[in-house]
Amino acid sequence: MRKVIPILVAVLSGLTVLADFFITHPILDLVGRTLLQWAMIVAAFAFVAGLLNIFFTHTSRVFHREKGWGYSIVVILAMWAVLVFGFLEPEGPHGYVVSWIFRYVQYPLQATVMALLAFFALSAGYRAFRRRTLESTIMLLTTSLVLLGYAAIMTDLWPMSALKEWILSVPAMAGVRGILLGVALGITATGLRILIGMDKPYSD
Amino acid sequence: MNELSVAFLLFFALFLYIAFIEVRIRGKPNLRPMPALDFLKEGLQRAIESGRPLHVSPGTGTVGEKDTAETLAGLGLLEYAHRQGGLYGIPVTSTFFHPTAMLSGYDFKRRFGPTGGRIYFIAPERGIYAAGAAEVLKNERPILNLALGPFGYEFLLLSEAAESYGLDQVAGATDPAVLPFVYSSTEHSLIGEEVFAAKAYLSKEPKALAGVIAQDVMRFILIIGITVGVILKTLGVI
Amino acid sequence: MIYCPNCGTANREGSRYCNQCGAPLTPEEGIKCQICGAINSPENEKCTNCGASLKPAPSPEEKPAEELPKVPVFPEEIILTLEEEAPDFLADLRAKAQEVVLPEEERVEEEAEEEKEEEPIIILEERYEEEELPPTPAEEKPTVTVEYREEELPDWLKEAKEIVLPLEPSPPADWLKEVEIPWLEEEIVEVPALAEIPPWLEALRPIEEAPAAPPPEEEAEEKGVLQGLKGLLKPATIFEPPEKIPLRREVAELSLGSEEIQKLVKLKPAAPAVKIKAPPKEIRTHRLIHFILFLAVLIPMLIGWPSMPSGSPPTPLGVEKFFQTVEALPPGSFVLVAFDYEPYMAGEMEAVAYPVLAHLKGKGCRIALISLNPMGPALAQALGERVGLRYGEEFINLGYIPGVEAGLRALGTSEDWLVRYDYLQGKPLDSFPAFQSIKGLKDWNLIVLFSGQSSTLLGWIEQVGSVIEVPMVAGVISGLKPYAEPYLNSGQLKGLLGGMTDAAFYEAVLGKPSEATRAAPVQAFALLIALLVILAGSLTRGGSHA
């Protein structure tokens, strides 16, 4: 019974939401919407668990003087600062301090971190295209033509962009759709396994 | 269109069940070799001998939204790592993007015993997650970096950081926009639906194997359907 | 519960007789167990219920003073000494301190009889007299006597004598000498005559070394603590250079025998054919690549070259359609703008969104900003203020819709407009005069999507675009453009801007050059440099991929 009840709850909830997607009925819509709202509330509470994890993990690192413990102090202080001001200010997370932290600290830092992607993409490509394999050679040729097409649109060589468009629209899209079909089947299989109770990502 | 979708789902579910029974009766089917997962097993052996931890990242997805299935695939790999870690004393460090996935990490730790590795919840922001996970790699210096699940462009940050620290990697993603980065930055990669087959390949559980078999059969059916449709459309029948 | 003293059955409190056997439960003369409370008859020594001893523990006055056990003093005697008043379970292990002497056969038996329960298991005999150094092992034969309690001794061992372990093996018994053991008898074996050794084998006979001279007799130490000892090393002299040790012994010293072998040994190894050059110092290639790319972006930004081409490249179709769709809006139209990208994509997405918002402002539209991303409202607010839109009149911020797919589904299927409150101040929508007439999704004239992920883009198109007739246009990052183009071709999207390049074209069509016009040519130049770096890397030697 201890194992059956969680499976039953999961299966019934999943089937209800799935049925709500296909069938239009006021009661089914209400139940489906309610279940989705409950899922969002549970996910919101999971953030509390995440917060506790951050606090205890980094506190432990500081106490044990592990490598990088100075950064853990910064993490803990930043976490408490945003939490405290978020609660104290009348506008809550939309208040002046939290907005200021987001606009002048978090946003520039995130944008900068992701700007590094261009450099890492280049070094990854440099490493990959030095491999002497058929796949790498084909990838190198395709990348060269597409990059030339992207760059050419800003020069007088814009007819090159037509080749780029064709490469992206036809062979690349064909490969992408094949991969997406496979991924969609994998997603469907995973979801169905949970819906029919064959697999459970949770424990007893 | 809805009726067709429902029929497809029902047929898929039925075939899933049939495949499960087949696996239980006839035994495990032969799976095609996946070099990335063979390398993963070698990495486990090296981890046992060296005592260095594994790092597992189940992707930048959530449990409960659109990328739940890919996240579950990554969590399946984490479960396998925890199981091996509990058996052979391999520390398993894991970094999480979303707390809903982090809860599964604690669940595995409870089921298979503490391995000595840590569970890190970084942040539900992709760029921040990648930077935080890179820092964890730098501090923990695992012997193998396993990154499997729904990744975005931030994957490149994580994999390049691992590469700069000289760590071996096994990575897999499902988003076609990210797959070129996965292929180019790691030598051992899983592409697309191979991510979903990883759990079946490693754990050899009948349920997971049934999913792989059902996927293969449905793929053949779809290929036949697309081919027939293209031919009929070309001939002007439809 | 009361336990029957006769059969042990548990009976209810207050019972007088046992339910099982009928015995009285409260004997007149009974001993109550201190452990379980069961009443036992006076003859019992142990409780019938729990087995505890019924004898009362001695009171502190009756208990004699504890005697400290005798501490064994090595090497005079090693004995086990225990208190006489030890608890019952130690009775078997109790041993009396006694002088142990060289045991004799009779003495062992007498002692075994006298001390039935107070015998040690093992007694080590006293070997040494008091205040004497232990003699050398050669002088005394080690002797071990093992005594057992008499009842434990088997019959054949009761007459056991002292076992003496001699150091030297005993000679074989007389009876053994008469036994014929075939393999021990000497056999006369005829040894065949030595065969003739062939000359070539004779040549390989090793040269016999002269017997080594006996080592000189070492002198014993004459003084100091090591007096009388031989074979000691001489103290090394400080700063004395070590003896020259030859690295390779001369061939003549090796006793290898024949001339042929000596010739082989004397052969010198051939000189290597190719001189191995030391590898060059490792260059941090990826750091160089990053620096090249950094310069490829920085220098054009500083000098302002390259710029948009002087010729007129054709405007991409998606850009053209996007422009026409916005241009066709009447003044005062309601436009819902979704900011579904995260801060890390803001660099490119703001370059795409800025000219569109500027165009909408120029058309006099009333803009509502919304997001499926928790960070989206803050990004939207910042951009709206940067474009110069007046809050409450030209734009409002409707905040964040949780749930992505579920939230969009609720938004699309609801008859009423669900988001009724402002993000910044929490005021109801009706309190803004410019937006009071929004009652449902169909009241919007255009939906503009700025999306950095395929999930949000497809979510809007599938969950909202499929249920309402409101036109939809999208601005996406350049990597997402191939995924969005099929929707442009099918008509589900009325316009598409893919990345900074398309944004630059949009600004060119709009006639208001801005950051996209500045950045797009630099981006193209950097892409060219990246291509050259990749081609250069592919031409150099690389590893093979398993």
Taking only the tens place, the pLDDT of each residue in B172-196 is 999 988 998 998 888 899 999 899 9
Q: Which pLDDT belongs to residue C99?
A: 44
Q: Is B226 a member of any domain?
A: no
Chains that touch C (3 or more CB pairs under 8 A): A, B
Whole-angstrom Cα distance, residue B186 to residue B146?
A: 11
- Decide the pairing of beta strands C496-498 and C472-476: parallel
Q: Is B114 a member of any domain?
A: yes
Whole-angstrom Cα distance, residue C345 to residue C363?
A: 27
Interchain contact, A154 vs C520, CB within 8 Å: yes
Interchain contact, A49 vs B102, CB within 8 Å: yes
pLDDT for residue C235 is more than 50: yes
As for how many domains chain B has, the answer is 1
Choice between C127 and C153, residue whose per-residue pLDDT is larger: C153
Q: A9-14 long-range contacts, Cβ below 8 Å, gap at least 24?
A: A10/A194, A10/A197, A10/A200, A10/A202, A11/A195, A11/A196, A11/A197, A14/A191, A14/A194, A14/A195
Residue with tokens 């210096």: B141
Q: Which two tokens stand for residue A113?
A: 């971190």
Whole-angstrom Cα distance, residue B95 to residue B105?
A: 9
Residues C390-425: pLDDT tens digits? 998 899 998 888 777 777 877 777 766 677 778 877
Provide, rounded to the nearest whole percent, the portion of chain A with pLDDT above 70: 94
pLDDT for residue C214 is more than 60: yes
| Beta-bridge mates of residue C339 | C450
CB C402 within 8 A of CB B65: no
Tell me phi and psi for residue C339, to 5 degrees: -100, 90
Angle at A178 between CA A173 and CA A179, to 5 degrees: 100
Residues C366-398: pLDDT tens digits? 999 999 888 888 899 989 999 999 998 899 998
Q: Which pLDDT belongs to residue C128?
A: 39
Q: What is the dihedral of CA C96, C97, C102, C104, to 10 degrees?
A: -20
Q: Which pLDDT belongs to residue C454?
A: 84
Q: Is B193 a member of any domain?
A: yes
pLDDT band with cut points at 50, 70 and 90 for residue B82? very high
Query: What is the pTM for the complete model shown?
Result: 0.67
Whole-angstrom Cα distance, residue A46 to residue B102?
A: 9
Q: What is the dihedral of CA C484, C488, C492, C493, to 10 degrees?
A: 80
Q: Is B218 a member of any domain?
A: no
Size of interface A-C (CB pairs under 8 A): 140
Interchain contact, C344 vs B66, CB within 8 Å: no
Residue with tokens 């429902």: B6
Report the mean per-residue pLDDT for chain C.
Answer: 72
Residue numbers of A between 104 and 143 with CB closer than 8 Å to B: 110, 113-114, 116-117, 120-121, 123-125, 127-129, 135, 139
pLDDT band with cut points at 50, 70 and 90 for residue C283? very low
For residue C403, what is the nearest residue in chain B, using CA coordinates? B65
Q: What does chain A come to in residues?
A: 204
Q: Which pLDDT belongs to residue A84?
A: 92
Whole-angstrom Cα distance, residue C159 to residue A119?
A: 95
pLDDT band with cut points at 50, 70 and 90 for residue C207? confident
The secondary structure of chain A in percent helix, strand, coil, rounded to multiples of 5, reads 80, 0, 20
Interchain contact, B65 vs C453, CB within 8 Å: no
Residues C479-533: pLDDT tens digits? 888 888 889 989 999 999 999 989 999 999 998 888 898 888 898 889 989 999 9
Using a CB-CB cut-off of 8 Å, the residues of chain A touching B127 are 110, 113-114
- Indicate the burial class of C317 (C-beta count within 10 angstroms; 0-12, 13-18, 19 or more): middle
DSSP helix/strand/coil, C274: coil
* Alpha carbon separation from C378 to B99, B125, C116 (Å, rounded): 23, 15, 95
- How many CA atoms are closer than 13 Å to the CA of C156, on its beta-carbon side? 0
Q: Which pLDDT belongs to residue C326?
A: 95
Q: Which pLDDT belongs to residue C66?
A: 52
Q: Which of C522, C525, C500 is nearest to C355 (CA)?
A: C500
The secondary structure of chain C in percent helix, strand, coil, rounded to multiples of 5, reads 35, 10, 55
Q: Is B134 a member of any domain?
A: yes
Q: Which pLDDT belongs to residue C89?
A: 55
* Alpha carbon separation from C143 to A52, A107, C161, C255 (Å, rounded): 71, 89, 12, 54
Q: Which of C352, C324, C317, C325 is nearest to C472 (CA)?
A: C325
Using a CB-CB cut-off of 8 Å, the residues of chain A touching B128 are 110, 113
**Average pLDDT for residues C102-111, to the nearest whole number?**
53
pLDDT for residue A118 is more than 80: yes
Tell me phi and psi for residue C40, to 5 degrees: -120, 155
For residue B107, what is the nearest residue in chain A, using CA coordinates? A203
Whole-angstrom Cα distance, residue B168 to residue B159?
A: 10
Tell me phi and psi for residue C390, to 5 degrees: -90, 125
CB A123 within 8 A of CB C286: yes
Q: Which pLDDT belongs to residue C139?
A: 46
CATH assignment of the domain containing B186? 3.40.50
Give the orientation angle of helix B206-235 with respect to helix B194-203, to 10 degrees.
Answer: 150
Neighbours of B196 (CB within 10 A): 28
- How many CA atoms are closer than 13 Å to the CA of C401, on its beta-carbon side? 24
Expressed as residue numbers, the domain containing B204 is 32-209
Measure B204 CA to nearest chain A CA, in Å: 14
pLDDT for residue B73 is more than 80: yes
Q: Is B232 a member of any domain?
A: no
CB A195 within 8 A of CB A14: yes
Q: Which of B110-119, C248-257, C286-295, C517-526 has the lowest mean pLDDT?
A: C248-257
Backbone CA torsion sign across C414, C415, C421, C422:
positive
Q: Which pLDDT belongs to residue A135?
A: 83
Using a CB-CB cut-off of 8 Å, the residues of chain A touching B64 are 39-40, 42-43
pLDDT band with cut points at 50, 70 and 90 for residue B132? very high
Any C CB within 8 A of A76 CB = no
Q: Which pLDDT belongs to residue B225?
A: 92
pLDDT for residue B227 is more than 60: yes
pLDDT band with cut points at 50, 70 and 90 for residue A168? confident
- Decide the pairing of beta strands C31-32 and C39-40: antiparallel
Using a CB-CB cut-off of 8 Å, the residues of chain C touching B35 are 546
Residues C134-192: pLDDT tens digits? 455 444 454 555 554 545 556 666 555 555 555 555 665 666 555 555 444 444 555 55
**Shortest CB distance from B179 goes to which of A54, A125, A179?**
A179
pLDDT for residue C4 is more than 50: yes
Q: Which pLDDT belongs to residue C258?
A: 62
**Average pLDDT for residues C84-99, to the nearest whole number?**
49
Q: Is B57 a member of any domain?
A: yes
Interchain contact, A150 vs C524, CB within 8 Å: yes
**Average pLDDT for residues B148-175, to the nearest whole number?**
91
Q: Which of A115-119, C259-263, C332-336, C494-498 has the lowest mean pLDDT?
A: C259-263
Interchain contact, A196 vs B17, CB within 8 Å: yes
pLDDT band with cut points at 50, 70 and 90 for residue C274? very low
| Beta-bridge mates of residue B137 | none
Report the mean per-residue pLDDT for chain B.
Answer: 90
Angle at B124 between CA B118 and CA B129, to 5 degrees: 60
Angle at C514 between CA C510 and CA C516, to 5 degrees: 95
Q: Which pLDDT belongs to residue C545?
A: 41
Residue numbers of C between 292 and 351 with CB closer than 8 Å to A: 293-294, 306, 308-311, 313-314, 342-347
Q: How far apart are the first and last CA of chain C?
A: 78
Interchain contact, A191 vs B99, CB within 8 Å: no
Most confident region among B105-119, B215-229, C156-170, C182-196 by mean pLDDT:
B215-229
pLDDT band with cut points at 50, 70 and 90 for residue C251? very low
pLDDT band with cut points at 50, 70 and 90 for residue C277? very low
For residue B128, what is the nearest residue in chain C, using CA coordinates? C344
Residue with tokens 């000596």: C262
Interchain contact, A183 vs B104, CB within 8 Å: no
Q: Which pLDDT belongs to residue B221?
A: 92
**Shortest CB distance from C344 goes to which of B65, B67, B127?**
B127
- Indicate the burial class of C494 (C-beta count within 10 angstroms; 0-12, 13-18, 19 or more): buried
Q: Is B159 a member of any domain?
A: yes
Backbone CA torsion sign across C156, C162, C167, C169:
negative
CB C31 within 8 A of CB C54: yes
Q: State ipTM.
A: 0.88
Q: Which pLDDT belongs to residue C255?
A: 52
Any A CB within 8 A of C526 CB = yes
Interchain contact, B215 vs A67, CB within 8 Å: no
CB B70 within 8 A of CB B33: no
Q: Which pLDDT belongs to residue C14?
A: 60
DSSP helix/strand/coil, C474: strand
A32: CB partners within 8 A, 6+ apart: A16, A17, A19, A20, A21
Residue with tokens 């390779």: C248
DSSP helix/strand/coil, A38: helix
pLDDT band with cut points at 50, 70 and 90 for residue A7? confident
pLDDT band with cut points at 50, 70 and 90 for residue B217? very high
* Alpha carbon separation from B117 to A59, A73, B86, B121, C426 (Å, rounded): 16, 20, 11, 13, 44
